[in-house]
Structure 1
């Protein structure tokens, strides 16, 4: 029989309707302003910590809605945004460096909905408010650091094999290293040993006067891998720093070949965020040179194995070029005060770093060890390629005499104040950036503007929906009512699907995508209804006209929606930020609108008019 669905199809459709309503429902309950308290390395959150937090809030005359301890974190729900800000300041001061207090918005979703995975839509930065940074990685410095590391590695490898060389340095015009030898036999021996253990490098030998020169340069593949590694490592480190800042639901993602997007919802202190995210501070530990006289060094009589740095007071200090270990081996760092009340940073190393430090200090008791503080700062000038120049600053933080064999834990002093010690500890915990980064774009969106964007977006969607509903009702009468019912369900289905997808975020352009799909959804119904009218005018029966209308319009609807879906996929693949948000909602809207416009409306039409031969006229 024409236009009759079997019972299983109605049951399946009812299940999809119920499922969509269920997962869209959490968005009706709203969110509570909340605080999320978590521990940094070296600290631990226990039930006793929850008791402390509640006591601190009571002292500040703040009555939270609830405070719970789950998954190693404390979540405190508050009654207002004002209470939230005051509570954050109170807990940050009282709990100290070992804990992170993050602003958050906790969904008020009922427990039974949460139990089945129900959660409200995640809102983008333009709807929630916060800070947006576009950061650029200095790839030239990343390659330069890779060259410096290669110099260190080659020097150690050649010395270990007792292969004598006259000098080794970075190549100026090539992305590699130049090694000089006294004779051709030694050069050949070096090539035979180094080539198999250094894949990704091209070996070229030449003769300059009486010296034999070996150029070890990066291949194109190695150069690309080095840049990708620098970007990926910086991405990981920035995520660690964002976690240290205490931001709930941040976004840190790659953009292109040398840029990173960072979005911090709820953060309004841009100065603090820039200070931590853009900082490139790290440490290097060098043996002190206690043999070379400082006056001889300043006069130019400096051994090739040593270098002059200045301390914080501008005094010159001679240290060995050899690096005992770098900040990459630091796994934890905590700021505190020593027995004299001076700021210090207590450092813990990984197992490899601990072994290296232990081995060096064991054989150098009574000798000096220098801590070199390195940071990169923008100069405000531009390079020839239009990118900003970055200045590398190096200074000796302190020179200490090794009193005993050190292990994985020790401390550094010589810092100016407690705030500097705190920031340095934070950066060292999060990791040292592989290459310097600089902020090339910055936007701040206030929470009130975010709410205004939500209100305007909902208003635009409501006006568009009202216009479409009125048109369909007036022009297609009862069939228009069916289309309107499917249209409303389509919006519920989009919200439900986006709420189910873990990484989906609703942005202002995403709301525009939903508004666009409203028009596209009725477009499919318009094609179907007009086709039914044509079949009726051709003299066919009502049941045949309905059947032909849906069947013949399907291919046209499918073609139009598939081409739009391809566009959405391309936008998602090549777009960034808000463009991706638009592409996601558009793609979901296309899929749901095809379902509701074709299968949803047909199920309703079949239920009302299907299989009835006594109908004399259709209200269409």
Structure 2
């Protein structure tokens, strides 16, 4: 009796938590001056859902190294962010192309003109005088700090830069020399000692990726590469106004039909699956928000596809459970065996889909990458809700007697009268 009471409390608690998360995610609420925003207010939308400009820039050089491509990307990203538009997306494509998606803007000429300018790198002293320019820098590289550990950016200067830097660092020991790219400060390290050998290091106390980014910015100003817009696409905001609401309606109808199908075929067991599916939808959208996924029409298609994948795991389990019930096993034994028998099929199908999405991500570009990322996130979360949450809810339902009849599983008769434990 005590065990049944604990199971009942846990069952109610899980459903209450899922219900609260669903309400908070789709409706939002305000509590004590703190606002929990609904998903439609916080999920980033791609150009096809809100309009904007997509520019594909190509480096005008025959051979481009990965470092040069990354440097160009960081430089273009900095320029794109200076346009004053939030949620600008900058990605590399192929060996020498960079795509910039600028949502909410329509003046493509202004954007292209801003992006194709060469970088302007400058090292400035405390009083604002210019010490070094991009022409004085040979190379910047992210590296390990050999003395204190951690990561830093190493600088190599040419002969003229070496002389200028020696004079400046001797003058400003204990003070900051700030680094600017296109008049925007990207670092302001303190001079610890005079540097005379033409080799310096910038201690950032950041991660390896952060140091790579800073090195890329310095290189993009020190070694500006000519770029050209090879493709400019304008997406009208009117399309997004129509596309997004229609996508939401299609999603609601699709999910509603899935819910009805599960209830019709699997009754109370199907109800548990629907509750787990609700959690799946909420968790997936939460991950989209936290990761910063930009939702596009292909991304919405992938999201709806993963809902089908999540349901498929439940269907495999429930059909195996029905088979065991028809053989005469008790409800508790059938639920356990059904879950065990379906496990390998569920894992195999999901791993296959996950591998396919990984291939799409690495060889695809633009919307294809967005589709792949959305698909991967959905598959991973669907495995959690399909294999764990649904199983727990059904087991608790059986334990407390909420699910205690063959009809609760959509089974009308069994073979013979014998029941197996």
State whether TM-score is above 0.5. yes
Separation in 2 of the partners of 1:581 and 1:17?
30
Unaligned runs of 5+ in 1: 31-107, 144-225, 283-326, 333-346, 361-429
* Match in the other structure for 1:454: 244
Q: Counterparts of 1:224-235 in structure 2 under 5 Å? A: 227-235=65-73
Rounded Cα–Cα distance in structure 1 between residues aligned with 2:8 and 2:108: 57
Q: Secondary structure at the match of 2:42?
A: coil
- Out of 125, 128, 152, which is 2:50 matched to? 128
Decide whether the 8 Å contact of 2:24 with 2:36 is kept in 1: no
Q: Matches of 1:560 and 1:601 in 2, distance apart? A: 18
Corresponding residue of 2:224? 434
For 1:464 and 1:18, locate their aligned partners in 2 and report how far apart those are by CA, in whole Å. 20
Residue by residue over 1:543-577, the C-alpha shift from the partner in whole angstroms, topping out at 9 and shown as x without a partner, is 21111111211121111111111222222222222
Residues 251 and 12 (structure 1), Cα distance of their counterparts in 2 relative to 1, 3 Å cut: farther
Aligned counterpart, 1:36: none
Instruction: Mark the CA change 1:18 to 1:351 in structure 2 (over 3 Å): closer, same or farther.
Output: farther
Q: 1:7 to 1:139 in 2, by over 3 A?
A: farther
Q: How many Å apart are 1:463 and its aligned residue?
A: 2.0
C-alpha contact 1:120 1:499 (8 A) present in aligned 2: yes
Given that 1:26 and 1:113 are in contact with CA atoms closer than 8 Å, whether structure 2 keeps it comes out as no
The answer to whether the aligner puts 1:254 opposite 2:92 as a matched pair is yes
- 1:517 and 1:18 map into 2 onto residues whose CA distance is 19
Stretch moving more, 454-463 or 592-601? 592-601
CA contact (8 A) 2:298 2:370 kept: yes
- Whether the 8 Å CA contact 2:49–2:244 is kept in 1: the answer is yes
**Mapped pair 1:491 → 2:306:** no
Q: Secondary structure at the match of 2:406?
A: coil
Q: Say whether the 8 Å CA contact 2:11–2:396 is kept in structure 1.
A: no
Alpha carbons of 1:239 and 1:464: their partners in 2 closer, same or farther (altered >3 Å)? Answer: same
Distance 1:432 1:246, change over 3 A: farther
Are 1:466 and 2:256 counterparts? yes
Structure 2, gaps ≥5 residues long: 137-158, 165-219, 411-421
The alignment's C-alpha RMSD in Å is 4.0
1:300-343 Cα deviation digits (max 9, x unpaired): xxxxxxxxxxxxxxxxxxxxxxxxxxx654779xxxxxxxxxxx
TM-score, structure 1 length as denominator?
Answer: 0.46
Distance in 1 between the 2:8 and 2:59 partners? 57
Q: Which residue of 2 aligns with 1:512?
A: 301
Deviation (angstroms), 1:479: 2.1
Q: Distance in 2 between matches of 1:476 and 1:522?
A: 12
- The residue aligned with 2:75 is 237
Aligned residue for 1:349? 130
What is the rounded CA distance, in whole Å, between the counterparts of 1:446 and 1:614 in structure 2? 52
The CA deviation at 1:15 is 10
Seen in structure 2, the aligned counterparts of structure 1 residues 136 and 8 have a Cα distance that, compared at 3 Å, is: farther
1:370-426 Cα shifts (integer Å, max 9, x gaps): xxxxxxxxxxxxxxxxxxxxxxxxxxxxxxxxxxxxxxxxxxxxxxxxxxxxxxxxx
Partner SS state of residue 132, structure 1: strand
8 Å Cα contact 2:262-2:274 kept in structure 1: yes
TM value normalised by structure 2: 0.66
Q: Which has the higher helix share?
A: 2
Structure 2: how far apart are the matches of 1:13 and 1:262? 46
| Secondary structure in 2 matching 1:246 | coil
Q: Which of 233, 237, 262 is equivalent to 1:443?
A: 233
1:562 aligns with 2:351: yes
Distance 1:470 1:538 in 2: 27
Q: Which residue of 2 aligns with 1:216?
A: none
Which has the larger share of strand?
1
Task: Give the direction of change, closer, same or farther, for the CA distance of 1:17–1:598 in structure 2 (3 Å limit).
Answer: farther
Following the alignment from structure 1 to structure 2, what is the Cα–Cα distance between the partners of residues 617 and 435? 71
Over 3 Å counting, the alpha-carbon distance change for 1:136 and 1:268 in structure 2 is same
Q: State how far apart, in whole Å, the 1-side matches of 2:274 and 2:358 are.
A: 28
* Residues 442 and 20 of structure 1, relative CA distance in 2, 3 Å threshold: farther
The 2-side partners of 1:329 and 1:614 are apart by 71
User: For the structure 1 residues 244 and 543, does the alpha-carbon distance in structure 2 shift closer, same or farther, using more than 3 Å as the test?
Assistant: closer
Structure 1 pair 244–497 and aligned structure 2 pair: CA distance change class (3 A): closer
Q: 1:444 to 1:433 in 2, by over 3 A?
A: farther
- Following superposition, the deviation at residue 272 of structure 1 comes to 0.8
Kept in 1: contact 2:43–2:295 (CA 8 A): yes
Residue 491 of structure 1: SS of its match in structure 2? helix
Counterpart position of 2:21: 21
Report deviation, 1:617: 2.9
**Corresponding residue SS for 1:136:** strand
Report deviation, 1:608.
2.2
State the SS of the aligned residue for 2:393.
Answer: helix
